[in-house]
Amino acid sequence: MLRGLFAMTLLIAGVPAAAFADDAAAEYRAAIQALRSGDLDGAIRHASWAIRFNPSFAHAYGVRAMALQQRGQIDLAIADSTKDLVFDPNDAIAYNNRGSEYAARGDHSQAIADYNVAIAMRPDFAEAYMGRGSEFGVTGYYDRSIADLQKAIALRPGFAEAHQNLGVTFEHAGYRDRAQAEYRNALALRPDLVQARDALARWGATVPQAIQASAQPPIPIATAPRDPVVISVAPAPGATIPAPTPPLYGGVASPSAGPPPLANGQPPLPLAAPQPRVGVAPLNDGQIAMAGPANPPPMAAALPLPRFAERPLAVRFAPGPDRPHDVAVIIGNANYAKFGKDIPDDLPAYADAEGIRLYARQALGIHDENIIFIRDATGAQMETVFGNDREWRGKLFDFVKPGVSRVFVYFAGHGAPGATRGASPYLVPADADSTSIALSGYSLATLYENLGKLPAEQTTVVLESCFSGQSPGGPIIGKASPILLVPAPAPVPRNLTVIAAASGDQMASWEKDNSDGLFTKYFLLGMSGEAAKPPYGKGDGHVTLDGLDHYLKDTLTYFARRYYGRDQVANFVKAAGT
C-alpha cells in the first residue's frame, strides 16, 4: 500500500530525498529477507537503517517490531508498532500486531482493545479474530473465545493455529471431545503444532498415523506480502530466540515447559499467550512510501472493567467418570438492579456459576446438554425448573432418569429470611421485590421438598447464599431492621445433601476484589483436590464431606474473619447414609 509520495525533493547533506528513498527500500527488503530466514539481529539492523534513511517509514517500524517481539523485547516492540501507527493510523495490521505484543506482555485488556480496532477496520481479518479469541480464552471468557476462533476459521479455512487455540478453549471450558477434535484438525493441517500433539498425548488419545509420520522440526518463520498471513513464532534451524512465557494459546512451544502441575495432576493455566502477527508490506515497482509526520494515534481504549465478575476461578479438576444421565442446575443471579426492585447486586455470582459449570463438566462428568444454566433467573424461571408448592414436577424432573441420575443444584445469589418467626427462608430471584420477599421470593422449603421427591439416585444442593437479610452489597429486605431478621432453617428431606455458604444469621462474604464468593472459591479449591490432602483427607485424591467441612473451616472461615472480622461457617446437612 503506497502512502502518497512527496512531490517535492528535499535535500539532506546535499543528497536528494529520492536517493534516501531507494536506500530505505533496499534496507526494508533486506529486513524482510532476514526475518524470513530467522536472522532477527539482521532484521532489526536493516529495519533500523531503513528508518534512518526515512524516519517516517511506517512499515519499517512494523518489521522491526516483529523481530523485537520474537527476540523477547516486548516493550520495544510495542513502541515500534505505535510508531508504525503514527505514520499510518489506518493500518489494521499494525493494530493487530500491537495487540499480539500486548498479549505477550500480559496486558490482555489492551490487547483486546487493539484487536477490536483491527476488526472494526477489517471485518474479514481472520488473524485479528484469532488473536482476540485467544485473549478471551486467556481471561476466561470462553463463550466469546469460541465465537471468535470459529469466526477466524470460517474466514480462513485451514487456519491450523486457530483450530489449535479453539481446542485449548474447549479443553479449559470442559468440552473434552470437542477439544480433541480441534487438536486433530490442527495437526492434520500442521503436524508441527506441539501443543496440540502434547494435549492428545496427555489424554492418551492416539494421533493419526499420517500425522505421526510427518512430524518435523518447527516450521521456520515465514513472511509474506501485505496480504496477511500468520508468522510462526517457531525459530529457524540454528536461530537462538529466548524462550517465551509458556503459552496457553498459539505458538509451538510445548506446555510441558510451563509451571509445575497442580497437586491433582492437572496442568495449570499458563500465564501468557503469544498471538498471531501478520506479514509485512511489499514495495510496488521499487518505490517507497514517504509519509509526512503525523500526530500519534490515540491508544486504543482498553475495555472497561466489567460491572460483574465473570471469569471463573482458575482451577482444574481431575476428570471424573462420564455420567451421561446426571443432571445439574446452575443459577447465577448477579444483576438485581436491572429489574429495579431495590435489591443490591451480587457482584461475583456470574463468575461463581461459571466456576461451578466447569466443575460439573470436568469433575462430575455431566454432559453440557444436561446442565440447566441460568443467569439472573426470575421467579417464573425458578418455578419452571423446580416446580412450586402446587406442582413439584418442573423441568428438572423431566431430565431425571429414575434410579440412575444424580442431581447437582447450585444457586449463587441472595437469600432472605422468612417474613415471620419460624417461616421458611427464601432464595431471591432476580426480579424479586425487596418490600415483598414473601410473595416474590422462592421458598427454600419448597425447593427442598420438591427436590426430595425426585426419583434420583442422589441429590446435592450447594448454595452461595445466606439468609440473614444482609449482603456485602447492602440489605436485601427494604426498610427492615437487621436485628429483627432471624432466619429459621428450612426442613431438609433425608435424601438430600445440602452445603450452604453460611450458618444461621451469618453473612456470606465475597473476595476482597469481588471476584468470587469466598465460599464458592474454597469449595472449588477443596473439590479440586485440596480437601483430599492431609489433614483433611488421606491424600488419595478422594474428597469426603467431612474433609471438605474441615478444609472450609481452615480457609473460608479463616479468611472471612481475617478480611472482615465476621464469622462465616459453611453449613452441612448430610443425606441419610452418607
At residue 553, the 3 state secondary structure works out as: helix
The pLDDT-based confidence of 364 (bands split at 50, 70, 90) is very high
Q: What is the DSSP letter of 247?
A: B
Same-fold call for 16-254 versus 327-518: no
* pLDDT number for residue 315: 85
pLDDT computed for residue 301 by the predictor = 52
Percent pLDDT > 70 in the chain is 75
- How far the first Cα of the chain sits from its last, in Å, is 71
Q: Which of 317, 327, 325, 433 lies closest to 372, judged by CA?
A: 327
Check residue 156 and report its DSSP letter: S
Q: For residue 220, which amino acid is it?
A: P
Tell me what pLDDT residue 278 has: 54
- The CATH number of the domain covering residues in 16-254: 1.25.40.10
pLDDT band at 533 (very low <50, low <70, confident <90, very high): very high
342 vs 518 pLDDT, higher one: 518
- Give the number of other Cβ atoms within 10 Å of residue 288's Cβ: 26
Q: Which residue has the cell 528513498?
A: 21
Average pLDDT over residues 26-34: 90
Q: Torsions phi, psi of 77, nearest 5?
A: -65, -40
Asked if residue 373 has pLDDT above 50, the reply is yes
Q: What is the pLDDT of residue 477?
A: 54
Q: Taking Cα atoms as reference points, which of 199, 178, 176 lies closest to residue 187?
A: 199
Q: Which CATH architecture has domain 327-518?
A: 3-Layer(aba) Sandwich (3.40)
Q: Does 294 have pLDDT greater than 50?
A: no
Q: What is the rounded CA–CA span in Å between residue 347 and residue 327?
A: 26
What residue spans define the domains of the chain?
A: 16-254, 327-518
Q: What is the pLDDT of residue 260?
A: 28
Spatial distance between the Cα atoms of 18 and 181, rounded to a whole number of angstroms: 55
Total Cβ atoms within 10 A of residue 294: 13
313 close to 351: Cβ distance less than 8 angstroms: yes
Query: What pLDDT score does 166 carry?
Result: 94
Handedness of CA 454, 456, 457, 461 (dihedral sign): negative
Indicate the pLDDT class of residue 175, thresholds 50, 70 and 90.
confident
User: CB-based burial of residue 210 (10 Å sphere; 0-12 exposed, 13-18 middle, 19+ buried)?
Assistant: exposed
Answer yes or no: is pLDDT of 105 > 60.
yes
Contact 21, 10 (CB under 8 A): no
pLDDT at 488: 59
Residue 81 has pLDDT above 70, yes or no: yes
Average pLDDT of span 191-216: 72
Confidence of residue 312 (pLDDT cuts 50, 70, 90): confident
Beta bridge partners of 272: 247
**527, 360 in Cβ contact below 8 A?**
no
Q: Say what the pLDDT of residue 340 is.
A: 67
User: 226-243 pLDDT, tens per residue?
Assistant: 222 222 222 233 333 333
Cβ atoms of 221 and 234 within 8 Å: the answer is yes
The arrangement of strands across the sheet holding 442-443 comes to 415-416, 426-427, 442-443
For the segment 282-310, the average pLDDT, to the nearest whole number, is: 48
Query: Residue 311 in contact with residue 145, Cβ under 8 Å?
Result: no
Residues whose CB is less than 8 angstroms from the CB of residue 171 and which lie 6 or more positions away in sequence, other chains included: 179, 199
When mean pLDDT is compared across 61-65, 136-140, 159-163, 331-335, the lowest value belongs to 136-140
What's the pLDDT band for 484 if we cut at 50, 70, 90?
very low
Which runs of E-coded beta strand occur in 2-147? 11-12, 15-16
The rounded mean pLDDT for the chain is 78
Instruction: Say if residue 530's pLDDT is above 70.
Output: yes
Model confidence at 487, pLDDT cuts 50, 70, 90, reads low
Quick one: average pLDDT of 435-448? 91
What's the pLDDT score for residue 299?
Answer: 52
- CB-based burial label for 149 (10 Å; 0-12, 13-18, 19+): buried
Does the pLDDT of residue 217 top 60, yes or no? no
Confirm if 277 and 231 have CB atoms less than 8 A apart: yes
Three-state DSSP state, 99: helix
Give residue 306's pLDDT band: very low, low, confident or very high (50, 70, 90): low
pTM attached to this predicted model? 0.59
Residue with the bigger pLDDT between 396 and 138: it is: 396
Report the pLDDT averaged over residues 89-95.
90
Segment 378-389 mean pLDDT: 95
